Amino acid sequence: MNKPRLQSVQGLRAIAFILIFLSHTEIVAAGPAGVSIFLVLSGFCMMYAYVDRPVKLTGGGWKFSTRKIKKLYPLHVCTLLFVAVAAMAMQVLSNKFTTNDWIGFLFYFTANLLLLQSWLPWRDGYFSFNAVSWYLSTIAFSYCLFPYIHCGLRNSKKKIYGLACIAVILMISVAVILDIGKESFGWTTDFIKWMTYIFPVYRAGDFVVGVAAGYYFLERQESRPDNSVNLKDTGIEIGVFILMAFQIFLYENGFRHTNWTLSLFWLPVSVAIVLIFARCQGMISTKIGESRVFVWLGGISGEAFLIHQITIKAIGMGIENKILLTIVSLFLTIFAVTIWRKAQNIYKLLRNER
């Protein structure tokens, strides 16, 4: 198939990252929206890239997943070591590191190193060390599933849409069960957050819906004549962004029933935004797709995501003003990503010279 590079989708990555970044600097509670967009977009891009390409099952889904995350894994290890050394130094200097603390430290370190932290159903587990790296652990599982989804459902519209419907029904069913468990058995908020926000099996539902959205887009893909902007599409884009802003407003002002609002609440609008940006026939998606800044930021969003929270926490120890914290942390995050990429290029040159 003749599939052009979707620059507007790259710009959407930047928007998702900005939503998460602003959530961690406590400017606006939009983190779950950004995560949902990332997950749906990952499934969408997998289908867009592989719909007409064979995916080998040799080595299983884990081998496929490893190839997909290998670009970010070295940075994950570096951030893990950085946080581990800093945490260990602070504990040793305070003379509070007991034998049990060492055992827990090594356990969580190993879980992070193997990208298993998102399978630990308690907060100190899934948010251990570089807390945001849980996403890499979670998406790795979805990438494991994709070869089987692709080989089993490829070119079968009913099966692809059927799987997405089943995924949503299961997600809703789990949310209902968690409502009952919270009332009847006292299940904690931390456990419910893990189940609906972190747990790889549950968040695979977002990914599968994204795969179905990718198939839907490819079925109806149209070329835009002369880069014209469609007023109807612009109106739809404005409406969807207003809807997301309203959802963020509700979430920020107390509408936080975790089993519903950490994933399902954002799923429909995330799918709509991904499809809108992929279609790119409205003014907003067109301008963002043509913006060098947004496309560039989208291109580095993976590295920036892994670095940004460490930067925010470090800068936050000296800056209390949220606006200033956001500006300085964003600048330093981008600077750190630039240094990381230059270091990678130098390493590749040295390796090639050998």
Q: For residue range 74-85, what is the model confidence (pLDDT) as tens digits?
A: 999 999 999 999
Average pLDDT, the chain: 89
Average pLDDT over residues 21-47: 94
Q: Which two tokens stand for residue 282?
A: 């409205």
- Short-list 304, 350, 353, 348, CA closest to 329: 304
DSSP per-residue letters across 237-286:
HHHHHHHHHHHHHHHHTT---HHHHTTTTTHHHHHHHHHHHHH--SHHHH
C-alpha 308 chain-centroid distance: 13
- Short-list 160, 136, 169, CA closest to 47: 160
Task: Determine the pLDDT at residue 329.
Answer: 95
C-alpha 24 chain-centroid distance: 14
User: By the 8 A CB rule, do 13 and 41 touch?
Assistant: yes
Average pLDDT over residues 178-201: 86
pLDDT at 226 over 60: no
Angle at 82 between CA 80 and CA 87, to 5 degrees: 95
Task: Determine the pLDDT at residue 154.
Answer: 65
Task: Determine the pLDDT at residue 252.
Answer: 87
pLDDT band at 222 (very low <50, low <70, confident <90, very high): low
Query: 292-307 pLDDT, tens per residue?
Result: 999 999 999 999 999 9
Task: Determine the pLDDT at residue 90.
Answer: 79
Task: Determine the pLDDT at residue 151.
Answer: 81
pLDDT band at 350 (very low <50, low <70, confident <90, very high): confident
Ramachandran region, residue 95 (left: φ > 0; alpha: ψ -120 to 50; beta: rest): left
pLDDT at 173 over 80: yes
Q: Which two tokens stand for residue 62?
A: 């884990």
Burial of residue 182 (number of CB atoms within 10 Å: 0-12, 13-18, 19+): middle
Q: Which of 42-51, 179-188, 267-276 has the highest mean pLDDT?
A: 267-276
Query: 92-101 pLDDT, tens per residue?
Result: 777 766 777 7
Query: 103-154 pLDDT, tens per residue?
Result: 889 999 999 999 999 999 999 999 999 999 999 999 999 999 998 888 877 6
Whether pTM exceeds 0.85: yes
